[in-house]
Amino acid sequence: MLIEGKGMEELRGALIGAGFFARNHMQAWRDLASEGARIAGVCDLDPARAQTMAEEFGAEPFTDPVRMLDVLSPNFVDIATTPPSHRALIELCAPRTRLVICQKPIADSHSDAAAMVEACERAGVPFLIHENFRWQRPFMRLQELLREGAIGTPRFMHLSFRHRWDVYAGQPYLATVPRLAIMDMGVHLFDLLRLFLGEAEAINCETQRRNPQVAGEDGFTALTRHEGGAVGVTDCSFHTLRRPEPFPQTMTRLEGDEGTLELLEDYRLLIHDAQGRREEDVEPSVPAWGEKPWHVVQDSVRNFERHALQVLRGEAAPQPSGADNLRTLELCLAAYESAATGRRVELGTFVLGEVAA
């Protein structure tokens, strides 16, 4: 089916998981209707949640993903569930669609993640991880400047994500998981480190559990060494009181041989180079369905989904692919190993397995 007046194929999708963050997925897909996207079905184990979201967005509700695939034969599937369900859903969907999208983190274990990558490779379908930080407007601008050679070869990056926003209100399960900050936020930050500095070769990590009401670590600080000698510093806290609350902004300093890029609060980008210092406003617009302070995330979801459509049409390579994101998961697991043992972990010799939380 072609979109009238656009000359492009309509790409019919199916969403699995109708929870807290899935609304952002659905709103962004609706924005992309003019670009050929349509979510035809919504599946959730909770019939009421599936029904409510399906009615709002003009889709068909399901509680059984097998039945949804049988009925709809979707061009792509967007999986927005929690990690324990990912492997089974990926292995189910990969042979029956043309592209699979999976919410981060890819999996709780390396073996499950590797099996998911293999399932999509075996089926010959692209496998995208919904890793949206690299699709936030500030970081897209940093990528542009780096490609333009604004600061030369990057040598150092500091990423800081510290706040006390109540992330548990919308996602109460976060307070119960034994691995929290690294698996919820570290995957984003480590993906950015790998994107800008290249593959990590070693990591030192310290974790903290500052809020006694949560089961897992709610803060971590990591030092990474990357190929070519670049160094990364990542710090994260869910228990840092600041006024005004900076959530969900990530503060950044990226240093190269020829200059420095700084992302500051209020989406201020400072560019230091041979010509001096200049400032840009890199705050994204607020989607019609969005609101501050979530707009940087909501805009990035739409950017990511637009990219997914390009991948499906053969116009772009997945960013990040499941195989690429597997390296981010390895870095997360190595961070836990370092924190548990108090030792530096070399990625090249790290034996993946069940590590202490």
Q: Which domains does the chain have, with CATH numbers?
A: 2-131 (3.40.50.720), 134-289+322-346 (3.30.360.10)
Mean pLDDT confidence for 276-297: 97
Q: What percent of the chain has pLDDT over 90?
A: 94
Cα separations in angstroms, 231 against 40, 146, 156, 333: 45, 17, 5, 19
pLDDT value of residue 280: 98
What average pLDDT is seen over the chain? 95
Whole-model pTM: value is 0.95
Residue 356's pLDDT band (cuts 50, 70, 90): very low
Q: How confident is the model at residue 355 (pLDDT cuts 50, 70, 90)?
A: very low
Q: What is the pLDDT of residues 212-264, one digit of tens each?
A: 999 999 999 999 999 999 999 999 999 999 999 999 999 999 999 999 999 99
**Residue 357 predicted with pLDDT over 50:** no
Instruction: Return d(Cα 306, Cα 14) in angstroms, integer.
Output: 16
* Tokens at 331, concatenated: 């870095």
Buried-state track 276-289, b at ≥16 Cβ within 10 A, e below 16: eeeeeebbbeebee
Q: Which residues contact 19 (CB under 8 A, 6 or more apart)?
A: 44, 49, 80, 81, 171
Kindly state the tokens that stand for 126.
């692209």
For residue 306, pLDDT beyond 60: yes
Average pLDDT over every residue of 327-351: 95
pLDDT band at 2 (very low <50, low <70, confident <90, very high): very low
Q: What is the mean pLDDT of residues 80-109?
A: 97
Mean predicted confidence (pLDDT) in 48-66: 98
What's the pLDDT score for residue 350?
83
- Residues 323-328: what's their mean pLDDT? 98
Alpha-helix runs per DSSP H in 108-210 = 110-123, 137-147, 167-170, 181, 187-197
Per residue in 131-165, pLDDT tens?
999 999 999 999 999 999 999 999 999 999 999 99
